[in-house]
Structure 1
Amino acid sequence: MHRLILRFFATAFLVLLIFAARARAEDEVRIQEEIWALPLALPMFAYLVRPVGDGPFPLVIMNHGVSLKPTDRSFFPLVEFRDAAKWFARRGYLVVAPVGSGYGAQAIDIPERALYGPFFSKVGKCTNPNFHDAGLAVAQVDLRIIDYMAAEKRIIPDDVIVVGQSAGGWASIALSSLNPPPVKAIIAFAAGRGGRVDGKPNNNCAPDRLVEATADFGRTSRVPMLWIYIENDTFFGPALSQRMHAAFISAGGRAEYHLMPPFGNEGHFFIGSPDAIPLWSPLVTKFLDAQK
């Protein structure tokens, strides 16, 4: 009798597991991936991934990093951070990951192409770098993308998250200083400018000037931010990123700082690895839940 009861409960438990697994599969958001040509003042391509359906959806913009070498920019992938972008899309976001002006075929410095793809994110010489304007230049592109997607009625206009890596993360910090009303939160991975001068690890271009520019953005920034850095980032190491965060907070900015353990051979490209998603996604989920 006891064996029959145990078998009954065991069978019932298995049935519940099967239905739970089916429910999870059915609840998973179906997504679709697209490539768009954005008709902005400076036209650019963008990788777009979103839930299947008409929307509108909350928007995530993902800003990539930079290379100062035209040859490197010419080989820049059309789709970067694909796995990270799909993670956001499965949570209901429409994700736009633009390929910056001056990348891909636009990276070649040909005069007749100048109107279509100038590289406008230079910081100048390390003796007098302009980190401030380089960040704001990309931030202005984000604002135009928000306006365009809102005009297309694809997004919920006041529900925008901006995510950036490296120079894209720096642009996201710059954007926060403008406090655009649609942007409710910003997430920066390995943010900064002027890392690895001449390709040398932990050799930064005017780090004191970078910290000063970070403080300058913090004086007006009030958007909630999450900053994620990795211990073995040889572009923006822990000591520098902690100085940047302290300067930003002291100036009045709002930023939650997390230093993650070493990842792979180079932590700077953390967000680009699918293996990193289980590591950063709990932090991002908790941060975004707190903004609701």
Structure 2
Amino acid sequence: MNLLHAPALKSMAAALALLICLFAPARAADGGPIQEEIWALQLPLPMLAYVVRPVGDGPFPLAIMNHGVSLKPVDRSFFPLVEFRDAAKWFAEHGYFVVAPVGTGYGAAAIDIPERGLYGPFFAKIGNCSNPNFKDAGRALAQVDLWIIDYMVAEKRVLAKDVIVIGQSAGGWGSIALSSVNPSQVKAIITFAAGRGGRVDGKPNNNCAPDRLVEATADFGRTSRVPMLWFYIENDTFFGPALSKRMHDAFTAAGGRAEYHLMPPFGNEGHFFVGSPDAIPMWSPLVEKFLDAQK
């Protein structure tokens, strides 16, 4: 299978870099401006990222935002370059240098040769539901976050010991996995609807091996000591209240530190709560209180 090579990614990123400040200018909470950009992250596995940051040289605290996954390569090819824009801008307005990577195998990097149906690399699979490997899928995304932290610190744009990580769905699961290795740079982690194996065959509340997911959550909790804030939503048909509460109970019983909030029903599908600007007034006061407690 042909994969999208780094030179092709660099060429595509160079064109996208011309689109800096694509959107209407915004102001930070302190009145200063923020700036939106597209970056090519030269990681061991290169990828593009949406970046929104306070204007200036910094260094600033770093916020990494991890998106979810789709198991269908065609769906991944239509993945937006800018994900969680409103949520990302909220963090930038509060002083964070936000990096939202576009995972390998997504968006423009999803398809190498469209007419031949060849798709770019995708490394976050869980395998068959009869024997899913939830832990390694989470660890793969966690490794990307560690690469991004090292890359951004080397760029001297962010503070080395002032990093937060935010993740939704599979991105949240990767963030839980990251907590299990307790990276010294990461002071807090926030997840929205975190998990893997939801809606098997597209059916609501049809989860892939939920008992195995709870066991994997407990395994991460045994070594995790990073303060975490977990959001789940009542009408999430991927990871409903009963399952998310089991995950939280297992995680904290094993020793993990996670504050759990079950939010009221939101829209037609609560799983995508964090992607809506209308949700910001609901989660932002809880996030501010949580982050203030970590100072």
TM-score normalised according to structure 1 size: 0.88
When residues 120 and 233 of structure 1 are mapped into structure 2, their CA distance, relative to the original with a 3 A threshold, is: same
Which string of whole-angstrom CA distances, capped at 9 and with x for unpartnered residues, describes residues 158-217 of structure 1? 000000000000000000000000000000000000000000000000000000000000
**Cα root mean square deviation, aligned:** 1.6
* Residue 28 of structure 1, CA deviation: 2.1
- Within-5 A mapping of 1:192-231: 192-231=195-234
- Within-5 A mapping of 1:99-114: 99-108=102-111
Instruction: Return the letter of the residue paired with 2:228.
Output: M
- Within-5 A mapping of 1:107-146: 107-108=110-111, 117-146=120-149
Question: Among 49, 52, 56, which residue is 2:55 paired with?
Answer: 52
- Give the aligned partner of residue 238 of structure 2: 235
Give the unaligned 5+ runs of structure 1.
1-23, 111-115
Query: Which has the larger helix fraction?
Result: 1
- Within-5 A mapping of 1:1-292: 27-108=30-111, 117-292=120-295
Equivalent pairs, count: 265
Instruction: Return the letter of the residue paired with 1:226.
Output: L
When residues 105 and 259 of structure 1 are mapped into structure 2, their CA distance, relative to the original with a 3 A threshold, is: same
Secondary structure of the 1:27 match is: coil
Question: What is the alpha-carbon distance in structure 1 between the residues aligned to residue 108 and residue 153 of structure 2?
Answer: 28
* Residue 253 of structure 1, CA deviation: 0.3
TM-score normalised according to structure 2 size: 0.88
Asked if 2 retains the 8 angstrom alpha-carbon contact of 1:29 and 1:92, the reply is no
Secondary structure of the 1:162 match is: strand
Asked if 1 retains the 8 angstrom alpha-carbon contact of 2:66 and 2:101, the reply is yes
Which string of whole-angstrom CA distances, capped at 9 and with x for unpartnered residues, describes residues 228-275 of structure 1? 000000000000000000000000000000000000000000000000
Which string of whole-angstrom CA distances, capped at 9 and with x for unpartnered residues, describes residues 87-129 of structure 1? 000010000000001111322376xxxxx94100000000000
Question: What is the alpha-carbon distance in structure 1 between the residues aligned to residue 28 and residue 104 of structure 2?
Answer: 39
When residues 155 and 245 of structure 1 are mapped into structure 2, their CA distance, relative to the original with a 3 A threshold, is: same
Question: What is the alpha-carbon distance in structure 2 between the residues aligned to residue 83 and residue 31 of structure 1?
Answer: 13
When residues 252 and 98 of structure 1 are mapped into structure 2, their CA distance, relative to the original with a 3 A threshold, is: same
Instruction: Return the letter of the residue paired with 1:156.
Output: L
Which string of whole-angstrom CA distances, capped at 9 and with x for unpartnered residues, describes residues 19-69 of structure 1? xxxxx9993231000000101111100000000111000000000000000
Question: What is the alpha-carbon distance in structure 2 between the residues aligned to residue 240 and residue 31 of structure 1?
Answer: 38
- Give the aligned partner of residue 6 of structure 2: none
- State the identity %: 84
Asked if 1 retains the 8 angstrom alpha-carbon contact of 2:86 and 2:276, the reply is yes
Question: What is the alpha-carbon distance in structure 2 between the residues aligned to residue 109 and residue 132 of structure 1?
Answer: 28
